[in-house]
Structure 1
Amino acid sequence: MTTYTIGVLHGDGIGPEITKATIEVLEAAAARAGGVNFEFVKLPMGWEAIDQYNDPIPQVTKDALKDMHGWIMGPHDSAAYPEQHKENRNPSGELRHSFDLYANVRPAKTMEGIKSVVGQANLVIYRENTEGYYCDRNMYIGVGEWQITPDVVVSAGVFTRRAVERIAHAAFQMAMQRRKKVTIVHKANVIKLGSGLFLKVCREVGEHYPEVEVDDFHIDEMTAHLVRRAHFFDVIVTENMFGDILSDLAGELVGSLGLAPSINTNENQAMAQAAHGSAPDIAGQNIANPVGLMLSTVMFLEWLASRHSDESLLSVARTMESGITATISSGVTTKDLGGSVSTTAFTAAIVEHIAR
């Protein structure tokens, strides 16, 4: 029986509450499914790390993560950090940059018991995670943004063939497991060189997957298409900023951003991280919705199962997911979804479903 070492970064705001709930459900699913062991290692991040190390993502945490199979990361409240820390990458951006987690994978799928704005939909967005217009992570050293005068700022967007090729391959490989359709989202009509390279390279990669149907849309028209016919899309591949915006839109359209999961991956490691923020206004009230992080952990288990060819991990993922969906479809939900149960009561209901 293999033991997988998983880092746990509780984070800020509602982070400790939803992370604790996620680990509870994961442990229940592992006990039910059997065949796999997990070793959870708690590591400092966010305000906890600032208090201990004067750094929201200290080197001791990054060093420990190097030897782990992956980690579960709660949200951070970097907007509230002391000014000295706002000059650096936030914890999420730093880990994506440090570990070259180039693929941010964000599905948007309708769920039974959750009202969708767009009817039935089941799509996944592959967001390039290392460059584009995200100035805090698109340079090897330094930040891709300069203030020329008090009234003039230049922000750089970076597009490289290497980065586009690997996110495109990841997207097409996923499409081969789904409905064999990839949509490239870009702005090549205006950003002719940068976004043009993204479109060109994605099209070239698509030639290696002749079974996959390929189309493309400009980012502005894509937002309208998502609202009007989300069911039409299967796998969407796009650059960093466009992917960030589209995935938040898609998550809200199919039910709630609070339900939206994601993972950040390279070939060897993955980070489970919900798409939403730390919600400091409701922290400590035991009303936070943990589903986004729980489903992110399901995605992480699926990735880990594929990476290590371990069917036991896939069984844990299916058990965990079925417990979550069964609980929601039964009408037991947190306040944000129209229910009335607390975070802990909702978690206990999922654990009970898994046990049954």
Structure 2
Amino acid sequence: MKHYTIAVVHGDGIGPEVCRAAVRVVEAALGTASPLVFREYDAGAQHYLETGESFPEASFEGCREADAILHGAGGLPGVVHPDGTEAGLDFTLRLRFELDLFANIRPIRLYDGVRSPLRDVKAGDIDYVILRENSEGLYAARGGGALLRGEVAIDPLVQTRHGVERIVRKAFELARQSEGAPRDGVRRVTCCDKANVLRSYAFFRSIFDRVAKDYPDIETEHALIDAMAMHLVMRPSHYNVIVTENMFGDILSDLAAATVGGMGMAPSAEVGAHNGFFQAAHGSAPDIAGKGIANPYGTVLSAASMLDWLGHGHSDERLTDAARRIRAAVETCIRDGLLSADIGGSAGTERITAALCEAVAGVSPGR
């Protein structure tokens, strides 16, 4: 039986709580014959406070060699490097750039039982993916910008033909695998940019249009970033897959998460050709750390994405079946009213985790 090594980095704040919850649910889904081997590594702001290192080289090597990486959350307020940048971000950013995790996949779905702040929007109306280019864009300038005499700061925005083309192709492939937009069932890819103002985004759009010709079965459209922020509020059911630059994707995915219950309901997957990194999109929430009230759903759903990615990559149905059962368990628990405080309930982390572990054993793999 093939085994897979999972690098587990708990991180900061509520990170250890939600990460442990996700590991328990995965273990419950796979049972005693689990092919996963979990290995823990240190990284984050708290580790920086204790040791002066935010991401030890041994931890990086462990993550690089692992079959997948599962992370809780990173960062603590005020814990920064001498240049003012957050110590907790080193972990995520180094993995993205050095392991070439070019595709940041953010599923946005409203579950039955979670109330959206959008009026008259119900479960089934919001179900799309924001695909964020993860290795270029404005964030590629981290550490490479310039501060001139304390008067002028410059951070360049970088787009390459290779980088844009591969993320656009990933978007079309995701659309092909999907069931289309909730409103009309159309498989659609929306290119989000600011092509009317900046050459870098006009370049992004031109590559999108060229690649789109290879996918005549997928509908395409363009949207400017400012208009898109409005559209995700006014007509979210129209969208299927949205592809965009790094910073725009970061901002849009937080806005989108708010429409489906908040960051606690926002899983994410960051994948490249050989490595995969999985974490919820929320922060470390140190104000509630240790209180037992953190929402584990986002990290559990991220772990399900990890199993899917591994399962498809290795043609291992044990993992894809477990991923389906975990998602079904999440649906069941939320529909039955097992909600954490951030999504309108009173259930704690342990109660939700225990219920998910029970549910994965009782939901058939095909559901």
1:292-303 residue pairs with structure 2 within 5 A?
292-303=298-309
> Aligned residue for 2:56?
58
Distance 1:72 1:86, change over 3 A: farther
> Aligned residue for 1:77?
75
Task: Give the Cα separation in 1 of the matches to 2:146 and 2:338.
Answer: 50
Identity %, equivalent residues: 39
Q: CA deviation at 1:244?
A: 0.5
Task: Give the Cα separation in 1 of the matches to 2:45 and 2:192.
Answer: 36
Q: Which amino acid letter does the alignment assign opposite residue 204 of structure 2?
A: F
Task: Give the Cα separation in 1 of the matches to 2:17 and 2:83.
Answer: 24
> Aligned residue for 2:189?
182
Q: CA deviation at 1:326?
A: 0.9
Distance 1:136 1:344, change over 3 A: farther
Deviations 1:41-88 (A, max 9, x none): 000011453256521111111111222111101111154324338457
SS in 1 for 2:337: coil
1:102-117 residue pairs with structure 2 within 5 A?
102-116=102-116, 117=118
CA contact (8 A) 2:72 2:299 kept: yes
Candidates 233, 237, 253, aligned match of 1:247: 253
SS in 1 for 2:287: helix
SS in 2 for 1:216: strand
TM-score normalised to structure 2 length = 0.91
Matched, 1:349 2:355: yes
Q: CA deviation at 1:36?
A: 4.5
Task: Give the Cα separation in 2 of the matches to 1:319 and 1:109.
Answer: 17
Matched, 1:97 2:102: no
Matched, 1:311 2:333: no
Task: Give the Cα separation in 2 of the matches to 1:329 and 1:16.
Answer: 26
Task: Give the Cα separation in 2 of the matches to 1:13 and 1:165.
Answer: 37
Q: Which amino acid letter does the alignment assign opposite residue 36 of structure 2?
A: F
Matched, 1:145 2:150: no
Q: CA deviation at 1:109?
A: 0.8
Matched, 1:22 2:22: yes
Q: Which amino acid letter does the alignment assign opposite residue 74 of structure 2?
A: H
Structure 1 residues not aligned, in runs of 5+: 138-142
Task: Give the Cα separation in 2 of the matches to 1:288 and 1:69.
Answer: 27
Q: CA deviation at 1:352?
A: 1.8
> Aligned residue for 2:12?
12
Task: Give the Cα separation in 2 of the matches to 1:82 and 1:186.
Answer: 31
Task: Give the Cα separation in 1 of the matches to 2:49 and 2:302.
Answer: 28
Deviations 1:189-220 (A, max 9, x none): 001x2011111111111111111111001000
More displaced, 297-306 or 279-288?
A: 297-306
Q: Which amino acid letter does the alignment assign opposite residue 24 of structure 1?
A: R
SS in 1 for 2:73: coil
> Aligned residue for 2:183?
none
Distance 1:135 1:170, change over 3 A: closer
SS in 2 for 1:156: coil
CA contact (8 A) 1:56 1:85 kept: no
Matched, 1:265 2:271: yes
CA contact (8 A) 1:78 1:90 kept: no
CA contact (8 A) 1:100 1:266 kept: yes
CA contact (8 A) 1:35 1:312 kept: no
Q: Count residues in correspondence.
A: 348
Task: Give the Cα separation in 2 of the matches to 1:47 and 1:247.
Answer: 24
1:159-238 residue pairs with structure 2 within 5 A?
159-178=159-178, 179=180, 180-191=187-198, 193-238=199-244
CA contact (8 A) 2:129 2:241 kept: yes
> Aligned residue for 2:340?
334
> Aligned residue for 2:365?
none
> Aligned residue for 1:128?
133
Runs of at least 4 residues off by over 4 Å: 85-89
Task: Give the Cα separation in 2 of the matches to 1:151 and 1:67.
Answer: 43
Q: CA deviation at 1:149?
A: 2.9
> Aligned residue for 2:42?
44
CA contact (8 A) 2:140 2:157 kept: yes
